[in-house]
Structure 1
Amino acid sequence: MLRQLYFFIAFVAFVTAQNEGIIETLNNVLELSELVAYLDKYPGLTTWLQGLSDITFLAPTNDAFQGLADSYTVPTLPTDEVGAETLISYHVLKGTFYGFGEDAAPDEYLHLTTMELPNAEANESMVTGGSMVIVRGSSWSSAMSFTSGDRHMSESYGEPLNFTGGVIYTIDSFLTLPQTFETTVEVEDMLGGAAFADAVLTTSNTSTNVTIDDLSDVTIFLPMNYSLQEIGNVIENMSKHDFDRLVSYHIVDGVLDINQDSPPSGYYNTYEGTGVTIFSANGFVFINNARIVGSPDWIFRGGMIYTIYGVLNPNNISINANANDAEIAFAGATYTPDFTFPTADPVSTPTSSPSPVPSSHSNGLSTAAKAGIGAGLAVLLAMLIGVCAFMQQRRRTKRELGPEADPGVKYQHYPMNYPLKDLEISVSHEELVANAAKPARGPIKQFTPSASMHSLGGPSVKETSI
């Protein structure tokens, strides 16, 4: 009954709100009273909303406020003006979408940009103009789903409400603000998450060292755990510089919408400097040798993250246009479940150069002087040998006479067979690779994990080297 009453009120509001502003329209909906009361606390935010046009506002209902208060995982409602502006502006989409038309067809994703913050210079929690909300239609209802940070999903219900500046959708929960890359991947327990977040990148235009969290409007292709383990021995033997370069090669300059039905194709620039090729083959979408398995709904503060099956190699950019699955692009790679990422390159200590030997043309000693010194050294050496022989004979005599000959001497008897535990035998990396058993690897065409599935179990799969 309450649900029917809500739809009746929403319908009346829809008819009467055609020529009213956003705040007046919100006031006409009983289920949005908590939102109106919250906005009233921040006159500057209310004025900003009133002045907007050609927007779509996602309005959290009273139930959304209650859910925020009852949740232990969702952050509490901001009580300061800057925090309120950040949260509410993330609910304002650029453009007026009446039902989102054909752009949000059932089961297809639509990337929509949010409005810029009213006081962006005072707030660094979001990238200005770079935050997105992912909209998806449903094949079995008229409701629209909105995916925000941490893959949180909110759902619309009821008819949209028109107002003079655009349209309003009521949603059942607050959107979640996108977080940093490091925080975002940590939630998913991605094996390469922390290593990618710690990588030092060099921007080509400024030659400045940055991290992923310093970037905006980028797409990160993050290998799934199993893929990193497939080349674990290669990663473990990389220098930190080479690994940072590998990470840079997994970052495309620009936000890509990679829907399976209509993926982008072509050559895209990376932060490493070398480009990657995105193409479709045999029902899959590939980036170089790796297969894109994550859906386009993983948002972080700087852009998008896609999980890939495979690891990209900046030194091997060849592609297989008829690929059936991901291929290993690193020669000599073996499956290594337990490996460590390089953390820092060893600091080389400069060694002192040997003193130059004077040539025969130098202004050093004459030849006669050198000959005299040599003869003197020979005599001295002969005397030292004689002294050593005398001392050796004396020690032998004392041992034959026994301890009583020299009570101050304590004899120790050392074993002749020394333990071998401290003896290290080195084997070259090439020998290990040559003798190691290569894991079997075959297509897993029927398995298409989502971005949250970060590892593969079960039987090993066949390796394919490019």
Structure 2
Amino acid sequence: MKATKLSTLALMPSAIAAQNLTQLLANTTELSSLNALLSSYPAIASSLANVSNVTILAPSNAALETFTNSSSFHALTSSGNQSIADLLSYHILHGEYYADNITDTPAFISTYLNDTAFTNVTSGQVVEAIKQDNKTYFYSGLLANSTVTRTDLNFTGGVLHIIDKVLTVPLNVSSSAAAAGLTAVVGALQAQHLTQPLDDAKNVTIFAPSNSAFQAIGSALGNFTTNQLTDILNYHVINGTVAYSTGLKNDTQYVAAGGQNLTVRIENGSIFVDSARVITPNLLVANGVVHVIDKYVLLSK
């Protein structure tokens, strides 16, 4: 009897590992809503069934219920199947990442979302993965965080984690800044007619002064010409490079869009760009990343 029980247990891991994605979804009660959603989009379900060497972040039933009752979901469905496919592709990561692979150092992992209608990042839009207080989080657009509630569900194409919120696809720079409350940045870009060029740019890093930073130099702005103000804003943009916080190394220099050098320093764990301190890092946007800083860079030199 013991031998029979042991042999049965020995077979279980291989049986579980042998599940394909379709079987895993069907056999996991917490994912019945996702399974039902995919059944409404057979072409998307078919493409998902063929992925390999991936990590899937699967929204729980409760997460999907909240999302499908939101205005965001209704806007997506009115845009057609491709929009749903793009959202789902943002939940598929290149490579297999088990819970133990994620640490307290942020990791920026590329996803299958590469539709230029939603992203303008060369290797595909990313999510930020980090472990904090023994919990695993994935940050997406607008600094939205999804907590992993169940880890390391294996299937033949990779590994799946269940999350408690649907990921937010990063918006363009101007929409992200507005949603994040960076009203002064939005106003400055509009005033200098830089909104569209910045939204359309590819692979950018932006150091966005906070509203308080604008207020601190408000009286001085009137002394600058339009061209000078444009130069100041361009000094906060790095073109052609997406530098997430983990890529900002001490004594590294970058060439800003205005042609001047920006110097990154790390002091006591804080990131400085020249003398401006990053106070909110890693706001993911459609074409790169925004770091909020506490003062203007050019005026601080």
TM-score after normalising by structure 1: 0.56
Q: Structure 2 counterpart of 1:308, which letter? A: I
Instruction: Say yes or no: does 1:284 pair with 2:281.
Output: no
Checking the alignment, whether the CA contact within 8 Å between 2:93 and 2:111 is kept in structure 1 is yes
Find out whether 1:302 has 2:260 as its counterpart: no
* 2-structure distance, mates of 1:267, 1:226: 26
**1:311 positional shift:** 0.7
Which residue does 2:153 correspond to in 1? 161
Which residue in 2 is equivalent to 1:110? Answer: 107
2:150/2:163 contact within 8 Å kept: no
Alignment CA distance shift 1:196-1:255 (3 Å): farther
Structure 1 pair 147–236 and aligned structure 2 pair: CA distance change class (3 A): same
2:231 match = 245
Tell me the SS of whatever aligns to 1:93: strand
CA displacement at 1:71 relative to structure 2: 4.4
Matches within 5 A, 1:451-466: 466=301
**1:137 is aligned to 2:122:** no
Give the AA of the match of 2:244. Answer: D
User: Are 1:126 and 2:119 counterparts?
Assistant: yes
Q: What residue number does 1:272 align with?
A: 258
CA contact (8 A) 1:245 1:272 kept: yes
Distance 2:12 2:149 in 1: 14
Instruction: State the percentage of identical aligned residues.
Output: 25
Q: 1:221 aligns with which of 178, 203, 207?
A: 207
- 1:147 aligned partner: 139
SS at 1:144's partner residue? strand
Cα 1:66–1:230, aligned 2, differ >3 Å: closer, same or farther? same
**Pairing 1:332-371 to 2, within 5 Å after superposition:** none
- Runs of 5+ consecutive residues of structure 2 not aligned to the other structure: 1-10
The 3 A distance-change label for structure 1 pair 92 and 196 is farther
Confirm whether residue 234 of structure 1 aligns to residue 239 of structure 2: no
Check whether the contact 1:290–1:309 (CA below 8 A) recurs between aligned residues.
yes
Deviation at 1:76, TM superposition (A): 3.6
Q: CA deviation at 1:13?
A: 9.3
**Does structure 2 conserve the Cα–Cα contact (< 8 Å) formed by 1:130 and 1:217?**
no
Aligned to 1:35: 34
User: Distance between the aligned counterparts of 1:246 and 1:210, measured in 2?
Assistant: 17
Provide the residue aligned with 1:173 in structure 2: 165
Query: Match for 2:296: what amino acid?
Result: V
Q: Distance in 2 between matches of 1:65 and 1:295?
A: 28
Secondary structure at 2:208 match in 1: strand
* 1:98 equivalent in alignment to 2:98: yes
Q: As a proportion of its length, which structure holds more helix? A: 2
For residue 17 of structure 1, give the secondary structure of its aligned residue in structure 2.
helix
2:98–2:151 CA contact under 8 A, matched in 1: no
Q: Which residues in structure 2 correspond to 1:201-216 (within 5 Å)? A: 211-216=197-202
Aligned residue for 2:150, secondary structure, equals: coil
| 1:36-75 correspondence to structure 2 within 5 Å | 36-71=35-70, 74-75=72-73
Q: Letter of the aligned partner of 1:83 in structure 2? A: S
> Cα distance 1:100–1:196, how it changes in 2: closer, same or farther (>3 A)?
farther
The one-letter code matched in structure 2 to 1:154 is S
Gaps of 5+ in 1: 1-11, 202-208, 314-327, 330-465
Structure 1 stretches of 4+ with a deviation exceeding 4 A read 12-15
The 1:53/1:69 distance shift into structure 2, 3 A limit, reads closer
8 Å contact from structure 2 (residues 278, 292) kept in 1: yes
- Look up the SS of the partner of 1:155 in the other structure: strand
Question: 3-state SS of the aligned residue for 1:160?
Answer: strand
What secondary structure sits across from 1:158 in the alignment?
strand
Q: Counterpart amino acid of 1:163?
A: F
TM-score (norm 2): 0.85
Aligned twin of 2:81: 81
